[in-house]
Amino acid sequence: MLAPSHLRGMWHQGSNAPVRPFLERDHSFGPEDIASMSAGFEAALRKLGLVVREDPATVAVAKSIIELAKEGEREPGRLCDQAVKRLST
């Protein structure tokens, strides 16, 4: 699956992008939560072909994963699928 048209062209070759840097001042998640969020985040990036953390599209994925987690979702597969779905609309 490719990124939606409004996100295409926003990625480049780069390094792994864990979700932790996007949670700098948010202490509402424990280590297990962050591990689940990171797994969902990385899976979503793979689905969308995104690899650079500073990319606006990658940041949008991270924000979506965090929002979903704040709503109570913790399962990595659902975090991934729902984040991709949100970005595709």
Instruction: Enter the pTM of the model.
Output: 0.74
User: What pLDDT, in 10s, does the model give residues 23-57?
Assistant: 666 668 888 998 999 999 999 999 999 988 788 99
pLDDT(15) > 70:
no
Q: Which residues lie below 8 Å from residue 39, measured CB to CB, with a gap of 6+? A: 76, 79, 80
Q: 80 with 44: CB under 8 angstroms?
A: yes
Residue tagged 């949008």 (tokens): 60
CA 51 from centre of chain: 11
